[in-house]
Each structure stands twice: as structure tokens, then as C-alpha cells.
Amino acid sequence: MPPSSALLAAATPRAGGSNNKHVEQAMAESVYKIIELVGTSTESWEKAAATAVSQASKSLRDLRIAEVVQLDMQVQNGKVSAYRAKLKVSFKFERGK
């Protein structure tokens, strides 16, 4: 399983799982905002994705799902200089009070 798939597998509820009904009930009356982020790492795509989620969690509350949508890398002088992961991240949308 590629590193990006591991992140998705950890964040995605399994069909028929015991938590599936709870997730559906919790999400039934909610609204979620989806944004795109790009994380970078000199080590791996997995660390690039984790960096994006970690940074987003500092300013966004109630992050729910991070979906890796694209992987690429920066190349300098014929060598990989950075791994980049583009993610769609969802969080609960809260109306102003």
C-alpha cells in the first residue's frame, strides 16, 4: 500500500464497521467545508501529507477527513529535492453566532 493510501485507510470508515452507523448519524445534519492544501517534505510523501494536516490542525477545528489527491516532487540537478502531497481536507462548518 503506498504511503498516501495508508493515510486514507486510517481516516476512512470501513463499510459494515461498527462505527459506520455512528459516523452516518453524526454527519446527517452537519455541513463540512473542503479546502485544498499542499504539504512538502524532504523525506517522503507521507511526511508531506502529515505536515499539511498538522499545520492545518493549528488553525482549523474539527478536521474530519484528509484525502490525498495528487503526489509530485520537486527535482533539482536531477535529484529529488522535495516530496509534495496535495490534499483535500474537510472540517465542520460552523455558522457565525
Q: Map out the domains of the chain with their CATH numbers.
A: 3-92 (3.30.1660.10)
Residues in the chain, how many?
97
Reduced 3-state DSSP string for 54-91: HHHHCCCCCEEEEEEEEEEEEEECCEEEEEEEEEEEEE
Whether this prediction's pTM lies above 0.85 is answered by no
Per-residue pLDDT of the chain (97 residues; tens, 9 = 90+): 444 444 444 444 444 444 555 555 555 678 889 999 999 999 999 999 999 999 999 999 889 899 999 999 999 999 999 999 999 999 988 777 5
pLDDT digits (tens, 9 = 90+) for 59-77: 998 898 999 999 999 999 9
Instruction: State the angle between helix axes of 45-57 and 3-11 in degrees (0 to 180), rounded to the nearest 10.
Output: 40
